[in-house]
Amino acid sequence: MQPVTAAPSVKLLQGNEACAEAALLAGCRFFAGYPISPSSEIAEHLSVRLPQVGGRFIQMEDEIAAMGAILGAALTGAKVMTATSGPGYSLKQENIGYAMMAEIPCVIVNVMRGGPSTGLPTSPAQADVMQARWGTHGDHAAIALAPASVSEAFEETIRAFNIAERFRTPVTLLVDEVIAHMRERVVIPEPSQVTLWERPRPTVPPAEYFAYDETPSGVPPMADFGSGYRYHVTGLCHDRRGLPKDSPAVVDALLSRLMRKIDQGAADILKYESQGLVDATVGIVAYGSSARSAKAAMRMARAQGRRVGLFRPVTLWPFPSQPLEELAEQVEYILVPEMNMGQLVLEVERVVRDRCPVHRVNLATGEPIPPEMILKRLESLGV
């Protein structure tokens, strides 16, 4: 007799709801946040669902406190998440830098809207791409993922937790408002079907434990506060015990390791999609909801006999440079549509260099980029 296997469930979810449900499936048991459009549904959903699975939800007095709260919870061993939008993401940056230096795993969902300042609170934009890379000061590696559908928002939320835990680092999920508020079909797998990565744990007794020790992967084991292991946590440069040090040798070793652990793990972090690039003479580089318009424009161009292909980075940071370099060697030029005044295109230009021209399609009016706008730009360039 064959064992009975529970079938995955299929639900019609809003993007923000998908993020919340995926977080629970990934093991998130603590959320701290502050209401802000267009991310508030994540907090609202988790305020109900977390207590149902033994988790904790807390609304803090502001975004700074919310970020600090999840870092404290993460140090006790919990998987943690917060959610915000542009202005709140700005306020979180100091504590994001602290999490990078102290190597505290956490997930930050940033539902992007227009800016600067209060900007367009309920309208879509892709305005925080460079903030996700350089928002906090100092030399640091950054990880940011950009889903292009509700089902992918579900998948990438789980992946964000896996990356955060494995590499002991903050991970940002950049969801633009279009994805956050649309509703699409999502297949929710059984928990047994989901692969989860956990943070490395100490295998030595407390007396022999160093919280920031050198390891082959560059990721030191992390002990839970309250489990008998004692160590110092600081945003200052520190030695393997966590004690502040300004010795050049110690500082160099620390910063090099923080960068190296992400570089060495790039294969498990980078993710991208290629479509129609085998014979393409023109490449479109797009992400998030703009990639949906780019796909439609590509199909329209293909129907007219134009050889257009799409390169869609799902991982924005670290940027998937190698496949883009290869694309630039193949095509006559690259087109980058974005709902901003030009952000990821700067990284595309840096990577492509003089291999081929890079052109832009920018729209920062609080409206999605229509496929016809991209197609018109292709036509104007002689495709």
The answer to the question of residue 201 being in a domain is no
The answer to the question of residue 2 being in a domain is no
Q: Are residues 188 and 210 in the same domain?
A: no
Distance of alpha carbon 223 from alpha carbon 209, whole angstroms: 9
Q: Which domain holds residue 71?
A: 9-193
The answer to the question of residue 3 being in a domain is no
Q: Are residues 228 and 81 in the same domain?
A: no
Q: Are residues 16 and 124 in the same domain?
A: yes
The answer to the question of residue 294 being in a domain is yes
Q: Are 141 and 263 in contact (CB under 8 A)?
A: yes
Q: Write out pLDDT tens, residues 254-275.
A: 999 999 999 999 999 999 999 9
Of 267, 299, 319, the last residue of a domain is 267
Q: Are residues 279 and 370 in the same domain?
A: yes
211-214: list long-range contacts, CB under 8 Å, 24+ apart: 211/240, 211/241, 211/242, 212/103, 212/238, 212/239, 212/240, 212/241, 212/242, 212/254, 213/240, 214/240, 214/253, 214/257
Q: Are 306 and 378 in contact (CB under 8 A)?
A: yes
The answer to the question of residue 51 being in a domain is yes
Percent of the chain surpassing pLDDT 70? 98
Q: Are 220 and 210 in contact (CB under 8 A)?
A: yes
Q: Which residue has the tokens 């991310």?
A: 39
Q: Are 366 and 125 in contact (CB under 8 A)?
A: yes
The answer to the question of residue 83 being in a domain is yes
Looking up residue 308, the CATH number of its domain turns out to be: 3.40.50.920
Sort 99 into a burial class: Cβ within 10 Å, 0-12 / 13-18 / 19+: buried
Looking up residue 84, the CATH number of its domain turns out to be: 3.40.50.970
Q: Are residues 134 and 52 in the same domain?
A: yes
Number of folded domains in the chain? 3
pLDDT value at residue 382: 84
Q: Are residues 93 and 162 in the same domain?
A: yes
Distance of alpha carbon 72 from alpha carbon 228, whole angstroms: 17
Distance of alpha carbon 19 from alpha carbon 343, whole angstroms: 25
Q: What is the pTM of this model?
A: 0.96
Of 193, 226, 253, the last residue of a domain is 193
Q: Are residues 155 and 184 in the same domain?
A: yes
Of 216, 239, 267, the last residue of a domain is 267
pLDDT value at residue 8: 76
Distance of alpha carbon 68 from alpha carbon 311, whole angstroms: 37
Q: Can you say how many angstroms the Cα of residue 197 is from the centroid of all Cα atoms in its chain?
A: 16
The answer to the question of residue 199 being in a domain is no
Q: Are residues 228 and 286 in the same domain?
A: no
Q: Are 113 and 256 in contact (CB under 8 A)?
A: no
Q: Are residues 171 and 81 in the same domain?
A: yes
Half-sphere exposure of 13 (CA within 13 A, CB side): 24
Q: Which residues in the chain come in under a pLDDT of 50? A: 1-5
The answer to the question of residue 200 being in a domain is no
Q: Are residues 248 and 368 in the same domain?
A: no
Q: Are residues 169 and 304 in the same domain?
A: no
Nearest to 317 by CA among 277, 284, 346: 346
Q: Can you say how many angstroms the Cα of residue 57 is from the centroid of all Cα atoms in its chain?
A: 22
Q: Write out pLDDT tens, residues 330-339.
A: 999 999 999 9
Sort 1 into a burial class: Cβ within 10 Å, 0-12 / 13-18 / 19+: exposed
DSSP result, 169-198: SEEEEEEEHHHHH-EEEEEE--GGG-----
Q: Are residues 263 and 281 in the same domain?
A: no
